[in-house]
Amino acid sequence: MCLLVVSSPNSTPRKKDLECASCNNPHGFGYAVIAGNKIITGKGMSAKKVIKEFLAVRKQYPDSYAMYHARFATHGVKNDDNCHPFKIGNSDLSYLAHNGILPVHIEPNDKRSDTRIFADDILPSMGGITALDNPNLYGMIEGWASGSKIAVFTLDPNAQYDCYIINEDLGHWDNAGNWWSNDSYKPSKWGNFFQKYDDSLDLSEGWALDEGMCYTCGEVMSNEISPYYCDYCGACYDCSMVKDDGCLCWSPERDNMARHKLEIGKYDGQYDFGF
């Protein structure tokens, strides 16, 4: 899932939107604000503390770009080190944050997230921040990160711009000048068998996925395609791990166990809700 918001100069997200985004994406928080000749960053596991700090810094430096990120972990451990944003190639001049799942190979003993590996290793190997000013390389990155959104802030004198949003069209701008990577900053409305609901996730027995947004990549999906996995990025709607690469929700073993427990002749043997 994750939520990434980029604020244009003289724009600031509402506190309640940041709080809602952080509740929906609770695995770490961080921000970056361009402040003159430096980029001020902060991160931590306490949403209350990081939001308060971000808004204070933003109030002091309102005339530049700012970003806030709330993490929903899909790869890497849940700690401060894997909170966005990340330095690009260990440079204090450039930072990035990301929403989605990147096709990054992670070694078994590597505790970094996919985004951190992209910032540490992959983008620097392509030439660093200057790769974003090369139309061919930029297009390659957009295609490689298809379904993902990446925000980059830089003060590198070799860069043409101080803010880049890769796959910007997959998010949306609000009327206040803030770009949001998805809708998880908005309050959810839920229901049950007897009431209508208009959210897109199903996390418990008796719920069904209605047409809505995949909270991992932001794509709009339909339950006619797949009610349990995003057909675009492969993320499981239950645990957000990628199908066949970490998701254990629908394994044949657990499916057989659920079939035995439920003893329902018409039970859909392809899926198991884990009860």
Instruction: Give every CB contact of residue 198 below 8 A, 6+ residues apart in sequence.
Output: 189, 210, 212
Q: Are strands 212-213 and 178-180 parallel, antiparallel or unpaired?
A: unpaired
In this structure, of 22-31, 71-80, 163-172, 254-263, the range with the lowest mean pLDDT score is: 254-263
**Predicted local confidence at residue 269, as pLDDT:** 41
| Stretch 30-50: mean pLDDT | 95
Interatomic CA distance for residues 39 and 32, integer angstroms: 6
Q: How confident is the model at residue 58 (pLDDT cuts 50, 70, 90)?
A: very high
Q: CB–CB of 47/89 below 8 Å?
A: no
Per-residue three-class SS string for 147-181: CCEEEEEECCCCCCCCEEEECHHHCEECCCCEEEC
72 phi and psi, to 5 degrees? -120, 110
**Predicted local confidence at residue 249, as pLDDT:** 61
**Predicted local confidence at residue 258, as pLDDT:** 42
Secondary structure element (H or E) that encloses residue 60, with its range: helix 47-60
Instruction: Give every CB contact of residue 236 below 8 A, 6+ residues apart in sequence.
Output: 228, 229, 242, 243, 247, 249, 250
95 phi and psi, to 5 degrees? -135, 155
Domain ranges of the chain: 3-180
Fold of 3-180: Glutamine Phosphoribosylpyrophosphate, subunit 1, domain 1 (3.60.20)
Token pair, residue 273, equals 């809700």
Share of the chain above pLDDT 90, in %: 51
pTM equals 0.68
Most confident segment among 165-169, 220-224, 235-239, 256-260:
165-169
pLDDT score of 136 more than 60: yes
Task: State the chain's mean pLDDT as an integer.
Answer: 79
**Predicted local confidence at residue 197, as pLDDT:** 37
**Predicted local confidence at residue 232, as pLDDT:** 64
Is the pLDDT higher at 110 or at 215? 110
Instruction: Give every CB contact of residue 61 below 8 A, 6+ residues apart in sequence.
Output: 33, 34, 35, 36, 40
Interatomic CA distance for residues 195 and 200, integer angstroms: 15
